[in-house]
């Protein structure tokens, strides 16, 4: 079978919420009013730390699809002042975030045990708070979220081929700056992590047999698989992967911005930045070439993400291995596109009505596990007023 990215078509219902005249869609989606509506209409579970699990009404998968968001919209009204990265979360928020992630991943892996039948993944995204509010392609809600999905493998196999040059597809050959020109120094820099659980993988070892993705992204296997997700040290190392990425990103784009070879003040690995990055002529040259392009090309300059933006995912490959990978977050690219899956979400209320009972039923099952862990409280919504699915009135 040809290795190629695929296009999955996923039905969605009609959206009943209207955007007020004179307000852009992105501005409206980030408003406290919209986020209040999201929780009331699709909220499943909330913790005292403001972590909200909700149904993705415009989702990626028809099989299993939910998100956990750090919903601080009731406390922080300024969308640009909300946490957008895991390193900006408070200690208790991060602890519960990890616990919820482990519980939901356990549910997915136990419910879908066969890697040849289902692709299981969770993906965490930062939403760059420095991006203009009205910029097309910006994520619709400016708060960090973790997205949990399952795709049937036969659905991926039957899907149409996607254009491998789609700018939203993240791969080392075309669209990711780090891996296109800086893969060697990037891998050398990440060696500082000194991981005890996560095992570095060779490029391509964890690629899906249907898509060939991810392509060249730094990846780490989780020896011990599902059981290791209960180990707090795993989450410590998961955090180290992110911190290493942030140091690399901040050092590089600081050099692009001001042309000065400086170590970011809040760097986690300052010695490694000095010895590996700022002493590497390729790293310096690529940053200065990019700097010149920014100066000369206003359209290109407007597309630069000056603050760290990333996608970090944990997924199960065809062999059943759990794998961690991380990528620079390009504008518009979705979690699934790191694995070569482009999702086309089509408004089709009739098709969605057919899948909704099963989809919601599985979300309520995993919610029961969160409730049993005593970390928050279940929420009622029109489709599950008493903890059971109820069709929406037409």
Give residue limits of the domains in the chain: 6-170+197-225+310-378
For residues 275 and 66, give the distance between their C-alpha atoms in angstroms, rounded to a whole number.
42
Tell me what pLDDT residue 24 has.
77
Tell me what pLDDT residue 189 has.
93
Query: Tell me, what DSSP letter sits at residue 79?
Result: G
Tell me what pLDDT residue 334 has.
81
Of all residues in the chain, the percent with pLDDT exceeding 90 is 63
Tell me what pLDDT residue 176 has.
67
* C-alpha neighbours within 13 Å on the C-beta side of residue 305: 21
More confident site: 180 or 336: 336
Which residue in the block uniquely carries the two structure tokens 């078509």? Answer: 9
φ, ψ of residue 371 to 5 degrees: the values are -60, -40
pLDDT tens sequence across 80-91:
788 888 889 999
Tell me what pLDDT residue 285 has.
95
* C-alpha neighbours within 13 Å on the C-beta side of residue 351: 10
Once rounded to an integer, what is the mean pLDDT over residues 40-63? 95
| DSSP three-state, residue 49 | coil
pLDDT tens sequence across 251-270:
999 999 999 999 999 899 99
Whether residue 125 contacts residue 335, with contact meaning beta carbons closer than 8 Å, is answered with: yes
Tell me what pLDDT residue 227 has.
95
> Residue 68: CB partners within 8 Å, gap ≥ 6?
51, 52, 53, 97, 100, 101, 104, 145, 146, 148
Question: To the nearest whole number, what is the mean pLDDT of the chain?
Answer: 89
Tell me what pLDDT residue 173 has.
52
- What is the pLDDT confidence band of residue 382, given thresholds at 50, 70 and 90? very high
pLDDT value at 181 more than 50: yes
Q: Which of 33-42, 154-163, 238-247 is the least confident region?
A: 33-42
Whether residue 29 contacts residue 136, with contact meaning beta carbons closer than 8 Å, is answered with: no
Once rounded to an integer, what is the mean pLDDT over residues 3-26? 86
Helix (H) or strand (E) holding 282: helix 281-296
Tell me what pLDDT residue 125 has.
83
* Cα separations in angstroms, 4 against 38, 47, 178: 35, 40, 22
More confident site: 199 or 18: 199
- What is the pLDDT confidence band of residue 127, given thresholds at 50, 70 and 90? low
Query: Tell me, what DSSP letter sits at residue 113?
Result: -
Where does residue 204 rank: exposed (0-12), middle (13-18), buried (19+ CB within 10 A)? middle
Once rounded to an integer, what is the mean pLDDT over residues 156-180? 76
Extended beta strands in the chain, E state: 6-12, 43-46, 51-55, 64-70, 118-125, 145-152, 160-161, 199-200, 219-221, 310-316, 322-328, 341-347, 377-378
Whether residue 67 contacts residue 16, with contact meaning beta carbons closer than 8 Å, is answered with: no
Please, what is the angle between helix 183-190 and helix 281-296, to 10°? 120
pLDDT tens sequence across 129-163:
556 555 655 556 778 889 999 999 999 999 999 98
- Within 348-391, where are the H helices? 349-372
More confident site: 217 or 48: 48
Extended beta strands in 104-158, E state: 118-125, 145-152
More confident site: 150 or 38: 150
Tell me what pLDDT residue 174 has.
45
- What is the pLDDT confidence band of residue 301, given thresholds at 50, 70 and 90? confident
More confident site: 34 or 113: 113
């Amino acid at each position: 079978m040809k290795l190629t990215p695929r296009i999955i078509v996923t039905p969605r219902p009609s959206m009943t919420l209207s955007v007020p005249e004179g307000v852009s869609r992105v501005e409206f989606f980030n408003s406290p009013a919209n986020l209040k509506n999201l929780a009331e209409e699709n909220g499943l579970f909330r913790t005292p730390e403001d972590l909200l699990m909700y149904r993705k009404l415009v989702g990626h998968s028809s099989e299993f699809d939910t998100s956990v968001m750090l919903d601080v919209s009731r406390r922080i009204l300024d969308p640009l002042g909300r946490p957008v990265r895991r390193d900006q979360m408070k200690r208790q928020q991060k602890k519960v975030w990890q616990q919820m992630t482990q519980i939901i991943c356990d549910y997915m892996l136990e419910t879908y045990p066969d890697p040849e039948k289902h692709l299981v993944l969770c993906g965490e995204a930062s939403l760059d708070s420095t991006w203009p509010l009205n910029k097309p392609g910006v994520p619709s809600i400016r708060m960090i979220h973790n997205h949990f999905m399952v795709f049937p493998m036969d659905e991926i196999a039957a899907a149409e081929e996607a254009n491998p040059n789609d700018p939203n597809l993240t791969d080392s050959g075309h669209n990711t700056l780090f891996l296109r020109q800086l893969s060697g120094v990037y891998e050398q820099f990440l060696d500082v992590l000194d991981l005890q659980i996560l095992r570095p993988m060779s490029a391509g070892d964890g690629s899906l047999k249907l898509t060939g993705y991810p392509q060249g992204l730094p990846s780490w296997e989780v020896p011990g698989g599902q059981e290791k997700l209960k180990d707090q040290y795993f989450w410590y190392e998961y955090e180290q992967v992110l911190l290493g990425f942030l140091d690399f990103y901040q050092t590089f784009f600081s050099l692009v911005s001001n042309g000065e070879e400086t170590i970011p003040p809040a760097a986690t690995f300052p010695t490694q930045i000095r010895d590996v990055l700022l002493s590497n002529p390729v790293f310096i040259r690529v940053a200065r070439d990019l700097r010149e392009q920014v100066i000369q090309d206003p359209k290109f300059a407007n597309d630069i993400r000056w603050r760290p933006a990333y996608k970090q995912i944990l997924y199960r490959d065809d062999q059943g291995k759990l794998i961690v990978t991380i990528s620079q977050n390009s504008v518009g690219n979705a979690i699934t596109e790191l694995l070569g899956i482009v999702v086309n979400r089509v408004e089709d209320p009739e098709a969605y009505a057919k899948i909704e009972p099963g989809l919601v039923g599985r979300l309520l099952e995993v919610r029961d596990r969160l409730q049993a862990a005593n970390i928050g409280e279940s929420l009622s919504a029109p489709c599950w007023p008493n903890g059971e699915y109820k069709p929406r009135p037409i």
